[in-house]
């Protein structure tokens, strides 16, 4: 049996930071992820990092969060049916992302674990790279929402939608092998359906990933 994803994280929370209504969180995390969605490839990912958050509850349903995330990622694609050396030519073996984020969340669900009615709204603005350093520099804006609608016979219709844009800036990152030959240049983005309760990266196993030719990162 092969596990698709292994993720572990722990948070240190200061609920009354500096005796104010602000909550502070420090969350180191580690994740290994093997994507076997395409039988031609096994995509191995290893992420580790630490996330800092400062959160303020504006009222019972609304909160604003300022975050700073530092991610170190390693990745390798292994071809199962074709020449495995091909993966070395298109995939950077590792990258780092340092980002600042500002998010606004409104949660009107009746229950965070098993909601039956209500909705959530989430707005996120991020900036990575630039003076923060890191492999890539980009600005990213996302908006998303979920809606839970009770129906007849106790059925519940849960819908969600999210959209976002990413705007790379600065010099394009280049990746080199140990021989020093540049083999891969691109700006990358990976965004997935984001249940707040899962991981700092907000990924789920149900994400319909783009094809292998589309590099993914976060």
Q: Which residues bind other proteins (CB under 8 A)?
A: 4, 37, 39, 112-115, 142, 144, 146, 153-166, 189, 191, 193-195, 197-198, 204-211, 213-214
Q: Would you say 101 and 125 are in contact if contact means Cβ atoms under 8 Å apart?
A: yes
Shortest gap between Cβ of 23 and other proteins (angstroms)? 21
| Least spacing, CB of residue 185 vs other proteins, in Å | 15
> Minimum distance from CB of 180 to other proteins (Å)?
29
Here the tokens at position 178 are 């140990």
Shortest spacing between CB 165 and other proteins, in angstroms = 7
Nearer to other proteins by C-beta: 67 or 115? 115
Toward other proteins, which CB reaches closer, 131 or 154? 154
DSSP state of 88: H
In angstroms, the Cα distances linking 4 to 75, 92, 168, 210 are: 14, 21, 30, 17
Look at the alpha carbons of 205, 206, 210, 213 in this order and tell me if their dihedral is positive or negative: positive
Paired tokens of 39:
């039988």
> How many C-beta atoms lie closer than 10 Å to residue 78's C-beta?
11
Give the Cα separation of 3 and 83 in Å (integer). 25
Q: Which of 180, 185, 18 is nearest to 92 (CA)?
A: 185
Nearer to other proteins, 79 or 166 (CB): 166
β-sheet bridge partners, residue 148:
118, 158
Nearer to other proteins, 8 or 16 (CB): 8
Q: Smallest distance, Å, CB 41 to other proteins?
A: 13
Rank residues 82 and 133 by Cβ distance to other proteins and give the closer one. Answer: 82
């Amino acid at each position: 049996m092969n596990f698709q994803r292994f993720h572990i994280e722990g948070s240190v929370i200061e609920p009354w930071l500096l005796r104010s209504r602000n909550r502070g969180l420090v969350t180191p995390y580690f994740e290994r992820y093997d994507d076997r969605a395409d039988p031609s490839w096994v995509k191995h990912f290893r992420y580790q990092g630490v996330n800092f958050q400062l959160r303020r509850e504006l009222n019972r349903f609304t909160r604003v969060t300022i975050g700073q995330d530092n991610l170190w990622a390693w990745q390798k694609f292994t071809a199962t049916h074709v020449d495995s050396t091909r993966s070395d030519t298109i995939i950077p073996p590792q990258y780092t992302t340092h980002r600042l984020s500002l998010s606004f969340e409104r949660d009107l669900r009746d229950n965070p674990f098993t909601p039956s009615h209500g909705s959530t709204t989430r707005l996120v603005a991020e900036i990575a790279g630039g003076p923060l350093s890191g492999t890539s520099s980009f600005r990213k804006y996302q908006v998303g929402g979920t809606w839970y609608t009770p129906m007849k016979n106790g059925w519940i219709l849960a819908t969600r939608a999210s959209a976002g844009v990413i705007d790379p800036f600065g010099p394009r990152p280049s990746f080199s092998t140990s021989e020093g030959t540049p083999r891969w240049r691109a700006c990358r983005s990976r965004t997935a359906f984001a249940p707040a309760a899962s991981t700092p990266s907000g990924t789920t196993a149900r994400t319909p990933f783009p094809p292998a030719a589309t590099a993914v990162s976060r």
